[in-house]
Structure 1
Amino acid sequence: MFSMPTLFLESKDNPKIKHLRGLIEQNSYRKKQGQTVLEGSHLCLAWLEQNRKINAIFTTENALKHPDLNDILDQYQGTVFVIGESLYKDLSTLGTTLACLAIVDLPSSSQALDYQADTLILENVQDPGNVGTLLRSAAAAGIQQIVCTKGSASLWSPRVLRAGMGAHFSLQTFENIQLDEILEQFKIPVYVTSSHRSTSLYAKDLSQPCVWILGNEGQGVSDYALAHAEAVTIPQPGGQESLNVAIAGSVCFFEMVRQRL
C-alpha cells in the first residue's frame, strides 16, 4: 500500500468536484481552464509513459486496493481525492472501468501545420466514438497530423480521449480550422470518401504522402471539400448504403499502408 496523502470528498458541491464535473461535461470550461480529464488506468498510464504530468487524481476506496491504480500512483506526486461510489458513477462517462479520473493540462500545439505530411481532416464528424476511433486508426497507420473543423467533436473531451485509447498523445492536433483557409495550401494529393463517386480507392496510387478528408456521419463531406479534392469510393459488393465513417477511414488508411509496405 502507498503512503501518499488522501483526502475524502463527500459533497457533490465541493469546489474540487465541481471543477472536475465542469471539465468532464463542458468544452468551453475545458478551454478556459486549459485542462481535461483522463478516465481509466489505461489512458493514465499511456499519458505517464509520455513523461507527462497528472495534476489531480480522483478515485474510490475500492479502487485504492487495485494494482493498476498503484502503478499510476507510484508516478504521481499529489493528493489522491477519494469519493463515494455513487458520486463516482455520477461523474464517470464509462461506468465499468477501474475508478480513476485524472485531471491533466491540455497539450499546447506549438507546431505549424505541415502541408506536405500525411494528414487526416475531420470535417464536422460529431460522434466522439467515431472521432476517437479515427485517431487510433490514423496513429496506427502512421498519420501524425489531425485537423478538425469547427463542427467536429472536441478532440480532448473525455469521451473522445477514451475512444482514442492514448492515440492522441503521439499526434499533432489542430482544432476549429476553416477548411477554405488550409485546403489549397497542401502540396500533396487530397482525397475525400464519397459513396456516390466511381473512382475506386484501390485504383489510386497512395505511395506518397496524402490528405484524407472524412465528413459528417449523415451528410458526408461538404461541397467545398468535394470541389477541392479527389473523391474515392470503397467498393462494396454487398451493396450497403454506406460505411460508418470510422470504418471507411480505417479502410483508406490501411490501403495506404499496404501500398507503402
Structure 2
Amino acid sequence: MDLIQSRQNPLVKTCIKLAGQRRERLKSGLTLLDGPHLLMAALDASLPPERVLVAQSALDRPEIQALLARTTAPKALLDDELFASLSELESISGILALWRYPEAPAARSRGLVLALDGVQDPGNVGSILRTAAAAGVEQVWLNPACADAWSPKVLRAGMGAHFLLPILERVELPALLAQFSGKVAVTALANSISLYQADLRGDLALVMGSEGSGVSTEVMQQAGLRLTIPMRPGLESLNVGAATAICLYERLRQAGG
C-alpha cells in the first residue's frame, strides 16, 4: 500500500465529506465505520466494506491485521496525522472503512416497531438503537427531525446495532402509524396510565418523543395508549434513552422474555 499524506487525495476528500455531511451520505449511500469494533461487527453480519483505510502506526497491530485479512476490499495506508483528521475519537482507532448502508425496507404493519419522533442527539439515537436490537425490536422508524442514523457518531453509539436492525429514516410517522394494525403507544405525562398497568403484548408500535418537547401532536393523535413511567416526586423526566430501555424491557417481560 502506498502512503497517503495529502488532504487533497480524492479518497481523503471523500472521507472528509462523509464524516461531516449528511447530504453526502444520502447522495452516495456511503458512511464511515470508525474503529475495529464496528468493522468487525459489519463483517460478522456479512456486510463487507467497500474500502478500508489504515493508520500507518496501526498497520502492525494484530487486531488490524486480522481485520484486513477478513476483507477483500481495496486498502489504503494513511499518515497518522491525516488519519486522525478523519476521526472524532480522541485516540487513533487505527482503521476506518467506507461502508454502503442498506436500503430501507418496506414499513411493517405488524410486529414490534420502535418509532423515534424528533430524537436529535446522536448519542441518544445510537444508544436507543443498541437497546432496540437487544430487546428484539423488528424495525425502527425515524422521522426527519431525528439525528442521522448513519452518521459516524450514531454508528459508534450503536456499537453494531445498525447491522442487526431494519431502519427507516426520514419517514412521516403519522402516515405509517395510521397503517399499523396493532397498538400504538406513546410516552406522555398527561392523561396517561402507568407503563406497568398497560398491556404491551402483541403487535405494538412504541413511539418515543424528542428530548425537549416529547411526542408531537400529530403523532399523539394516533396513539391508543399513553404511557408514563412512575418516578419519585420532584423529578420531571428521564433521558429518552433510559425511558426507551424501560419501556422495551417491560414489553419483553410481558411477552415472556
TM-score for the superposition, normalised by structure 2: 0.95
Q: Distance in 2 between matches of 1:61 and 1:156?
A: 26
> Are 2:146 and 1:149 aligned?
no
> Are 2:42 and 1:37 aligned?
no
Write out the 4+ residue segments of structure 1 that deviate beyond 6 Å after TM superposition: none
Q: Distance in 1 between matches of 2:234 and 2:194?
A: 15
> Are 2:22 and 1:16 aligned?
no
Q: Distance in 1 between matches of 2:2 and 2:115?
A: 43
* Kept after mapping to 1: 8 A contact 2:84/2:92: no
What are the superposed Cα offsets for residues 29-77 of structure 1, whole Å, 9 maximum, x if unpaired?
A: 1111111111111110010011222111112122112121112101122
Distance 1:9 1:222, change over 3 A: same
Name the amino acid aligned to 2:23.
S
> Are 2:77 and 1:91 aligned?
no
Match in the other structure for 1:201: 195
* Kept after mapping to 1: 8 A contact 2:174/2:222: no
* Kept after mapping to 2: 8 A contact 1:195/1:242: no
Secondary structure in 1 matching 2:59: helix
Aligned equivalent of 1:118, options 101, 105, 112: 112
RMSD (Å) for aligned C-alpha atoms? 1.4
Q: Distance in 2 between matches of 1:56 and 1:132?
A: 23
Q: Distance in 2 between matches of 1:157 and 1:254?
A: 27
Secondary structure in 2 matching 1:62: helix
Match in the other structure for 1:26: 21
Deviation at 1:258, TM superposition (A): 1.1
Secondary structure in 2 matching 1:122: strand
Aligned equivalent of 2:65, options 39, 62, 70: 70
Query: How many percent identity over aligned positions?
Result: 38
Aligned equivalent of 1:46, options 36, 41, 44: 41
Q: Distance in 1 between matches of 2:190 and 2:234?
A: 13
What are the superposed Cα offsets for residues 85-141 of structure 1, whole Å, 9 maximum, x if unpaired?
A: 2222221022235221100112123x3211111001111111111001111101100
Q: Distance in 2 between matches of 1:57 and 1:259?
A: 44
Q: Structure 2, unaligned stretches of length 5 or more?
A: none
Q: Structure 1, unaligned stretches of length 5 or more?
A: 1-5
What are the superposed Cα offsets for residues 189-244 of structure 1, whole Å, 9 maximum, x if unpaired?
A: 11111234441000011121211111111111101122221210000125311101
Secondary structure in 2 matching 1:38: strand
Match in the other structure for 1:259: 254
Match in the other structure for 1:3: none
Secondary structure in 2 matching 1:176: coil
Distance 1:240 1:73, change over 3 A: same
> Are 2:129 and 1:135 aligned?
yes
Aligned equivalent of 2:232, options 237, 244, 254: 237
* Kept after mapping to 2: 8 A contact 1:7/1:80: no
* Kept after mapping to 2: 8 A contact 1:37/1:102: yes
* Kept after mapping to 2: 8 A contact 1:197/1:233: no
Q: Distance in 2 between matches of 1:15 and 1:115?
A: 43
Secondary structure in 1 matching 2:2: strand
Name the amino acid aligned to 2:32.
V
Match in the other structure for 1:81: 76
